[in-house]
Structure 1
Amino acid sequence: MNPKTKKIIGNSVFVVIILLLLWPTSRAYFQQGLMKIGLFKPTLEEPEKLDSQISVHNNISFKNDKGEIVHMNDLKGKVVFINFWATWCPPCIAEMPSIATLYERLKGNSEVVFLIVEIEGESEKANKFMAGKQLNLPVYYPNSQIPKEWLGGSIPTTLIINKHGEIATKHEGLADYSRQEVSDFIIELTKK
């Protein structure tokens, strides 16, 4: 291969990589591909105990499109999967199908609750996104202040709250929640 051909191929590959990284939809597909090969495993370890963890549920609530309000205090006794996301966030978009798979696997379990929280309160955009991706997930919006222990500013952020109202695990960033170990982890929490 002559040097000119190598240069053209190299430049073409460089342009494709840049487009994949900059174009949000392409980025999401690229990230989903990386998830499928096992690069983005969620953290399933209990975080450090926080002094404020015991009372962290007080006054935290979320609202859905129907205006129904869910208070975290009312969910004690259940395992709660909470994902904080936004429609403009490529890693959030990339992991959403894996959350849908987990939801479908566990939606019949009355001891597990899913709260897919669109942090900006953009119900029209969130509903359009879910419809466009053909996802049937329970979308909520913040109805109160979210503690910094739950959402420190990075999205996506996912929490799994145990039946006692404590953070069983917290993962910031893209992750593949369709993995069997995630559903096994949640099922195990329902038994404790």
Structure 2
Amino acid sequence: MKFIKKNIVNGLFIALLLVIVFVPDAKALLIRGLMEIGLYSPSIAEFPKAAMDLSGIKFQDAKGNAIDLGNLKGKVIFLNFWATWCPPCRAEMPSINKLYQKFKDDKNVVFIFADADGDLEKSVKFMTNRKYEMPVFKVTSTIPDQIFSGALPTTVIFDKQGRLSFRHEGIANYADKKIVDFLNKLKVSD
């Protein structure tokens, strides 16, 4: 009898591991749980205050509206590169959505969620199905490596002068008070 119980427990454990490995939403749920207990807290480090030329870095939404980062001088820019198939991206989405909800009516902060799938329609559908309101864009120009080098998820924040103020590759909890305070500080600083 002990041998059968042991086999059942081992079988269930292996099945759980396989689900976590092969089902993106299951892996995202596990990562999200780790975020909730305090892992993946973003680190706000000081960046050199050199302005970048953001002109020509372009994105387009599903309605065809184009946005050029160079035209957003005077606004704080929160730019997140993500993909629907990426479990860490899926895991951090609820925290980014909470952050977006806090600032969505603030004209001094712009949020851009750049689809790395290359399938804007799929990404918009993903957001809609999960009831996220975040604006999804496709990349329509080249992106400098200091902004995005291919790691998903990647989040960058520019201050009002177009200076790179935050860059993080990998998952982070963006609902963290440190990020909210950081965005508020960037809004009022010159």
Q: Same fold (TM over 0.5)?
A: yes
Query: Does 2:185 align with 1:188?
Result: yes
How many angstroms apart in 2 are the aligned matches of 1:36 and 1:164? 33
Matched residue type, 1:132: N
Query: Does 2:159 align with 1:162?
Result: yes
How far the C-alpha of 1:5 sits from its partner, in A, is 3.2
Matched residue of 2:12: which SS?
Answer: helix
Query: Number of residues paired by the alignment?
Result: 189
Partner of 2:169: 172
How many angstroms apart in 2 are the aligned matches of 1:43 and 1:115? 21
Matched residue of 2:89: which SS?
Answer: helix
Task: Give the 5 Å matches for 1:3-22.
Answer: 5-22=5-22
How many angstroms apart in 1 are the aligned matches of 2:58 and 2:166? 19
Matched residue of 2:160: which SS?
Answer: coil
Partner of 2:150: 153
How many angstroms apart in 1 are the aligned matches of 2:65 and 2:175? 28
CA contact (8 A) 2:53 2:70 kept: no
Task: Give the 5 Å matches for 1:37-116.
Answer: 37-47=37-47, 49=48, 54-116=51-113
CA contact (8 A) 1:46 1:167 kept: no
Identical-residue share of aligned pairs (%): 38
Give the TM-score normalised by the residue count of structure 2: 0.91
How far the C-alpha of 1:11 sits from its partner, in A, is 4.0
Partner of 2:30: 30
Measured against aligned partners, the alpha-carbon deviations of 1:5-42 in whole angstroms (never above 9, x if no partner) come to 34542442233123212211111111111111111112
Matched residue type, 1:111: N
How far the C-alpha of 1:3 sits from its partner, in A, is 5.7
- RMSD between aligned alpha carbons? 1.8
Q: 1:149 to 1:3 in 2, by over 3 A?
A: same
Unaligned runs of 5+ in 1: none
How many angstroms apart in 2 are the aligned matches of 1:56 and 1:88? 31
Matched residue of 1:155: which SS?
Answer: coil
Q: Which stretches of structure 1, 4 residues or longer, exceed 3 Å deviation after superposition? A: 1-8, 53-56
How many angstroms apart in 2 are the aligned matches of 1:7 and 1:74? 62
Measured against aligned partners, the alpha-carbon deviations of 1:27-84 in whole angstroms (never above 9, x if no partner) come to 111111111111111232134x49xx63441311111111111111111111100000
How far the C-alpha of 1:2 sits from its partner, in A, is 4.1
Give the TM-score normalised by the residue count of structure 1: 0.90
Matched residue type, 1:139: V
How many angstroms apart in 2 are the aligned matches of 1:11 and 1:121? 38
Measured against aligned partners, the alpha-carbon deviations of 1:74-110 in whole angstroms (never above 9, x if no partner) come to 1111110000011111111111111110000111221
Partner of 1:133: 130
How many angstroms apart in 2 are the aligned matches of 1:71 and 1:149? 17
How many angstroms apart in 2 are the aligned matches of 1:46 and 1:159? 13
How many angstroms apart in 2 are the aligned matches of 1:98 and 1:74? 27
